[in-house]
Amino acid sequence: MPSSPQTLLERYSKYLRHSGFRFNAVAWILLSLLVSAAAAFLVFPVDARLAVLLFVVLADLCIGFPYFQAVKRIESVEASLVDALKQMSDTLKAGSTYESSLREIVVSGHGPLQTGFAQVVRKLEEGENFETAMKSFADSVDSTLVKRTVSLVVESVRSGAGLAEVLDDIAEDLRAMQRINRERKSSTLMQSMLLVTAAAFVAPLIFGFVSTILGVLSGAAAGSVPAEVLAQSVQATALISLLIEAYLFIEILATSVMVSLMREGRPGKSIIYLPILLFIAFGVYALSKALGKALIGGIV
């Protein structure tokens, strides 16, 4: 079942909070669109297509930046979780309490995870029980992996199982999962590079030359055809150029989603790849057109 707009706004509000932005979600989106529209309006008299591209890229960057920051924080927490659980297990085996083991993690320093556990310790000092404090930490991270880990820890404490052994098992499972993710990224590196090269370099380069050749052929026939035919030729050339640019945009969008799925396992990160690949692709396309004009102009 697709997510409703309200659910998407709630998730985006979480991303804003987790990335440190004190903005309402709707206000930030509107501000991003307004800034992007203002920049596009300044460029519009020079090149309408460039203005549209600039609007899309700036809007994507502004709206996607909080998501990028939030994902970066979540990944940092997940990466530090293995060492933190192992340290917590060793501290418990030495005879310390839950609170003492959490304090050890806070003192040791584990990036954003350190901040989250510091909040857990503070809540324990304020009188909250271990289960409530840990669940509050899991909710603040918005990570399925962290939520499952915290759920296992809480259940082991509730059932009276040996927490140190449970933490060791969880740490080993997480380490194996991280190793699998690293192997997936390594094994898909060449495929991702091939997709990026074809979409952001080869295709724009070829289409740039094609667009230039069409323009040259249309101009070369200007003196030998009726004005009506020439006008139709110019319109057809402009339409083909527009379709080429639309194809490049769709191709880059699809490539961003595919690379995100291959590398990260989720399509959401395509919002990070899209503006970069768009800049590269249309930059190569513009350079190819300029180079084609220089080469063909020198020959003609």
Mean pLDDT within 163-176: 85
- Judged against a pLDDT cut of 80, whether residue 8 lies above it is answered with no
pTM for this prediction: 0.74
pLDDT tens digit sequence for 115-127: 888 888 888 888 8
**What is the Cβ-side half-sphere exposure of residue 276, based on CA atoms within 13 angstroms?**
13
> How high is the pLDDT of residue 220?
65
**pLDDT at residue 67, as a whole number:** 85
Tokens 């930030």 belong to residue: 28
pLDDT tens track for 247-296: 999 999 999 999 988 887 777 778 888 888 998 999 999 899 888 888 87
What average pLDDT does range 145-160 have in this prediction?
82
Taking the C-alpha atoms of 5, 8, 12 and 15 in order, what is their torsion angle to the nearest 10 degrees? 170
- Crossing angle of helices 189-197 and 163-187, in 10° steps, is 40
Give the mean model confidence (pLDDT) for residues 217-233. Answer: 68
pLDDT band of 4, cuts 50, 70, 90: low
The whole-angstrom separation of Cα 54 and Cα 298 is: 32
